[in-house]
Chains A and B, each alone.
Chain A
């Protein structure tokens, strides 16, 4: 599915809108995992608004594509996306993290419509995704399962158990992403627990690896197209090199924004940053779009 200029512009607009809604949600909640939310948003926007076959009127449609947010703590960005998509009332975002809200830091698949798995405990998502993908095989269905991991999350050994299973059972109807923002709670990933050579690790576990700029919508689309056209027996892993806090310059690449609080001044400053980011991105589309 080649990306037209109009589509690219529309996706940039949607990503900008969702960044603003994520910022608002963080502000309403007072704090949140905004850094990782912003780094992961472009991939999630592209999946939901260009690729995934889902039906907002029939959220449990058996043949729908699945999305497993393994880095479940970025619900602060995923919840706005699901509300904006129409699965849940956007007013719920104003209750994020509040006592008795259905919507908290990690989304409950039995409470929030459109969530395919209750994640939050790290290192679980890829196993669940392998399960939904194998279920498609057993039941003769052609839906795809997309799974998004955090890079810090890849310290968890269970991911590599899942990776082996995916390769062994040739689970090519699962397409995987890692949000490689190089930050985790206690510091940079390479300082806390070295992941490099990261792509080689995935290759060694039997994956075809694409490395892209994960905050570039065109590159994300090209990588997903590549994965969808994959005719080999090996599953595809798309390593998305991203910036933590992408779009808000004072948060970018700063691991202390893994989880941050927003006072009114910081919120206003962040909004100005997002406007500048959007303008830059649109200018880039105008320049690069065919």
Chain B
């Protein structure tokens, strides 16, 4: 990977995902004088304090004013800097959506949004601070690359890839610690290319963000207990989505489940469905995610369990989907 520094599973058990982002940013700051950091009174929460200490003249806290932060970042980018701006996902998308759309994406500037506290990872804060609709919004903005890393190690890779790729990025990371999926950064991360984290031929689970680890665990369990071979794809890049991996999964396994810590409308599940439908390929298909309802308050892992996007939820969904008889069913009475 660019930069030389790599992260291992050991680091990502001792560092939260945002802390790894903070360190990646310091590394970029040391190498590239044009890298600047912006925050809206969330330097501590978004873990960019180290950058602030090392580069006080390249750090800007604009106060609790997200719309302004996006505009300032756009102006900086137009003038040759590479701003990394971080705030909670809900505010990075909806609060400053117009500035994200127009100042960053329409102008196609080289600015990188690090949207923290994504999904329900700030579970106890309630729906004002959950971000379960952001992907639906940001996925529809032209020029924007959207990444949802599976863990801290992948976040490092995503941040480096964003620096090395011109244009606006939206990287959606969790609050706190992510379960460790990758043992180090050298697993072949490539923008727009899903990572096969578990091989399988019976069914494919396409997951993103914190759900990838859950899907991996479910696949291991189902292999041992049910003899099912579950393919798990880490779909870290939500846009541009890896059409090839999706269609290969349709062809190879004919059963697909998507899992995301997001509303089932507009996020990963919708993106996968769009690819399959436009290809004209039939497939047993289920979207796991928030069922178009605001999530309850609670710990992230509890919410994931309640909503059914954790390991158990995925196991149940795989078993149900395996029972679906879709190929030779000429009876439409039960469907229509």
Interface residues of A, Cβ cutoff 8 Å to B: 62, 66, 68, 108-110, 116-118, 120-121, 123-139, 145, 157-158, 161-162, 164-165, 168-169
Task: Known A-B contacts: A128-B103, A134-B76, A165-B72. Give 6 more (CB < 8 A).
Answer: A121-B102, A128-B72, A130-B72, A130-B75, A131-B79, A134-B60
Residues in A whose Cβ lies below 8 Å from that of B89: none
**17 A-B contact pairs sorted by A residue (CB < 8 Å):** A110-B108, A117-B103, A128-B71, A130-B71, A132-B75, A132-B78, A134-B60, A134-B76, A135-B76, A139-B79, A145-B75, A161-B65, A161-B67, A162-B71, A162-B72, A164-B65, A165-B72
B97 to chain A, nearest CB (A): 11
Verify A158–B80 contact, CB threshold 8 A: no
B148 interface contact, C-beta 8 A: no
Find the A residue at minimum CB distance from B66.
Answer: A161
Verify A135–B75 contact, CB threshold 8 A: yes
B36 interface contact, C-beta 8 A: yes
Interface residues of B, Cβ cutoff 8 Å to A: 34, 36, 57-58, 60, 62-63, 65, 67-81, 83, 98-99, 102-103, 106-108
Verify A127–B78 contact, CB threshold 8 A: no
| Cβ-neighbour of B107 out of A110, A134, A136, A139 (below 8 A) | A110
Residues in A whose Cβ lies below 8 Å from that of B36: 138
Bound CA span A109–B76, Å = 15
Known A117-B78, A135-B79, A138-B36; judge A127-B107 contact (CB<8 A). Answer: no
B63 to chain A, nearest CB (A): 6
Bound CA span A30–B331, Å = 60
Bound CA span A133–B57, Å = 14
Residues in A whose Cβ lies below 8 Å from that of B68: 127, 130, 158, 161-162, 164-165
Verify B67–A127 contact, CB threshold 8 A: yes
Residues in A whose Cβ lies below 8 Å from that of B81: 135, 138-139
Residues in A whose Cβ lies below 8 Å from that of B79: 66, 131-132, 135-136, 139
Verify B62–A165 contact, CB threshold 8 A: yes
Bound CA span A131–B79, Å = 8
Find the B residue at minimum CB distance from A62.
Answer: B80
Find the A residue at minimum CB distance from B101.
Answer: A121
Verify A158–B71 contact, CB threshold 8 A: yes
Find the A residue at minimum CB distance from B70.
Answer: A127
Verify A134–B63 contact, CB threshold 8 A: no
B186 to chain A, nearest CB (A): 34
Which of A66, A109, A136, A138 has most chain B Cβ within 10 Å?
A138
Find the B residue at minimum CB distance from A157.
Answer: B67
Which of A110, A123, A131 has most chain B Cβ within 10 Å?
A131
A179 to chain B, nearest CB (A): 19
Verify A116–B60 contact, CB threshold 8 A: no
Q: Which 9 A-B pairs have the closest CB atoms?
A: A131-B75, A127-B71, A135-B79, A161-B68, A161-B65, A128-B75, A131-B72, A132-B75, A131-B76
B219 to chain A, nearest CB (A): 45
Residues in B whose Cβ lies below 8 Å from that of A66: 79
Find the B residue at minimum CB distance from A130.
Answer: B72
Known A109-B107, A139-B80; judge A131-B98 contact (CB<8 A). Answer: no
A127 to chain B, nearest CB (A): 2
Known A117-B107, A130-B75; judge A169-B60 contact (CB<8 A). Answer: yes
